[in-house]
Structure 1
């Protein structure tokens, strides 16, 4: 199947993933979005030329090069799958990525905590060229056609949004969660953030009084509540995957893959926060029974119609969000946050936290839109 025909047959997941990658780049480039000021004494021509860096370590160099590779690869793939010619898509991708990088470096000069440089821009552009070239090579070798045929066998036509959400799910798990696999906004953190945001705002006294009078979260979740929350945290993504996966053994493979990815990402998060020695510290006595329960419930829906899986997914995600919102603050949250803010993840931790907060809401909205669609859910 030609790329253009494939694009017409399927809604490509490359496009939403490309937009997500661009959003990640913008967020990581401009975080923490505070302290904006005009560089003192710097003429406009000097700002446009970009300065040389005061220092750079090997991690920064590789991060700048590798950071733009997936962005460019996804943009190029999305362009080709949209019917564009590979050569023109390559050119526009590299030029567009280089322009985006230049604008980010230029804007960083107005942030006191960022250090823009010509070298960063050059590395970003080189990474974009490498990513677009890799995408063009994949297309040339026919790997995209192979993926398209496999996707036709495994997933329904309207699967792009769900697949993009499933790929974003591990990013949210990298930030410390109130309970294992429990994504969603924690009311205590949300309450503190809103109060800090509104404390000096005129006319917000009523909202502040309501926030202060709001009942606090539970002092401690019972083992049963923690087990249910963990099970729902795993079951929700599995059911989202089931909605777009052909019924039967393929759902079993996808569910097992999602389970392995979630557990591996949670282990990586613990290792990043507390060190490799404590990589399995999140594995409390209730986690294994909770995962077994989630997999048993998922097994009952291996052959269920897509609409049934979608309704069950809405219930699981909603209940999981309610439990996470009532969970007390993680006793290790302050330590974890300090590690993320002071370490190499300073420009990444906020993004992971927002993904963790918003992912269940985005998945619920996708499932609701899917259920409301007039097209057959299994088309």
Structure 2
């Protein structure tokens, strides 16, 4: 039996809901209001829009779907939908309860009802797909295409185009955190003796040259291809996933620029370095397509470390950060900054996953007594 990818995806999605519900996590205080007052408020509330209604339903539907799917795959088919609906309702009630302590958030019993309804709809959709045999066909497809221990890689591959929905200063290049981390640590340790413990940079960060941008973009596109190679042994299927991955990367990047800067700017990122990086990435993916899985993991580690090293030696653009906040749809797809966190963390999570898989394969198996 394969371990289902629905559990980690449900956990990631729950974290997204938690972050989006309580952002910006500042100004916590008791406001002299009964925390349960939203339960007895009138429905609908004085101020609401159809956009709010639809988003509260749609926002929780994937959680219900993933939870019900995970429970079905864990041997609880009859309890899957009720347990998923109850879990989504309790999560929503917890978020509404906590919002009473955040002056910038407004708890609502209408939101609770809509969130619970969305979770139930998602769970029923998972049940319907199971009854129609769609999930069984997915299991057959996964068994045919992926290795048995591919759960973590599948989750990372699903999250990769989502991480690209926040435009990166260098297209396809995730994990540029050094300058931000340095600034955050300096601010945190200000006026403390520990500030002197921070290492001093010997030289200022230098912007990437066009050749450096090309290399970062090339490595950024090659990383998901190699990750797929680690868990897909068949050469033909590797080729399909490599082309699909590069195509999804291009589409996600264009969508993020369209939503963040306006539809007229959807392809402004596609300069000469990006165009060359796409073709070079496809050529390298084709050249490496026959490598064994363990060799692919070793090359992937080199690719990720090389890209992160190059990327974090360059400064982030202040103009880029400012323009990132100007488009309303762009703020929405970033889920109040959570999407940007996904872009920062993805390559490091992939590094950790690959190192863990290599260590497991290298660990000697205990010999059986004769």
The two structures have a TM-score, normalised by structure 2, of 0.92
Within-5 A mapping of 1:192-271: 192-200=183-191, 202-207=192-197, 210=199, 213=201, 215-218=203-206, 220-271=207-258
Query: 1:170, CA displacement in angstroms?
Result: 1.6
CA distance in 1 between partners of 2:312 and 2:36 (Å): 50
Query: 1:152, CA displacement in angstroms?
Result: 1.1
CA contact (8 A) 1:177 1:330 kept: no
SS of aligned partner of 2:19: helix
Query: 1:214, CA displacement in angstroms?
Result: 5.5
CA distance in 1 between partners of 2:88 and 2:260 (Å): 32
Within-5 A mapping of 1:107-256: 107-200=98-191, 202-207=192-197, 210=199, 213=201, 215-218=203-206, 220-256=207-243
Unaligned runs of 5+ in 1: 1-8
Deviations 1:288-316 (A, max 9, x none): 11111111111112121100111111111
Within-5 A mapping of 1:1-379: 9-39=1-31, 41-46=32-37, 49=40, 53-85=45-77, 87-200=78-191, 202-207=192-197, 210=199, 213=201, 215-218=203-206, 220-330=207-317, 332-339=319-326, 344-345=331-332, 348-374=335-361
CA distance in 1 between partners of 2:40 and 2:194 (Å): 44
Query: 1:118, CA displacement in angstroms?
Result: 0.8
The two structures have a TM-score, normalised by structure 1, of 0.90
Query: 1:188, CA displacement in angstroms?
Result: 2.4
Query: 1:57, CA displacement in angstroms?
Result: 2.4
Query: 1:190, CA displacement in angstroms?
Result: 2.5
Unaligned runs of 5+ in 2: 364-370
CA contact (8 A) 2:222 2:281 kept: yes
Taking structure 1 as reference, are residues 217 and 344 closer, same or farther at Cα in structure 2, changes over 3 Å only?
Answer: closer
Deviations 1:137-179 (A, max 9, x none): 0000111111111111111011111110111112221223121
SS of aligned partner of 1:221: coil
Deviations 1:232-283 (A, max 9, x none): 0000111001111123110010011111111111111111111000000111
* Equivalent residue pairs, number: 362
CA distance in 2 between partners of 1:347 and 1:109 (Å): 24
Query: 1:338, CA displacement in angstroms?
Result: 2.0
Taking structure 1 as reference, are residues 44 and 101 closer, same or farther at Cα in structure 2, changes over 3 Å only?
Answer: closer
Q: Which moved more, 1:125-134 or 1:294-303?
A: 294-303
Query: 1:215, CA displacement in angstroms?
Result: 3.4
Taking structure 1 as reference, are residues 313 and 44 closer, same or farther at Cα in structure 2, changes over 3 Å only?
Answer: closer
Deviations 1:1-39 (A, max 9, x none): xxxxxxxx1011111111111111111111111111112
CA distance in 1 between partners of 2:2 and 2:333 (Å): 38
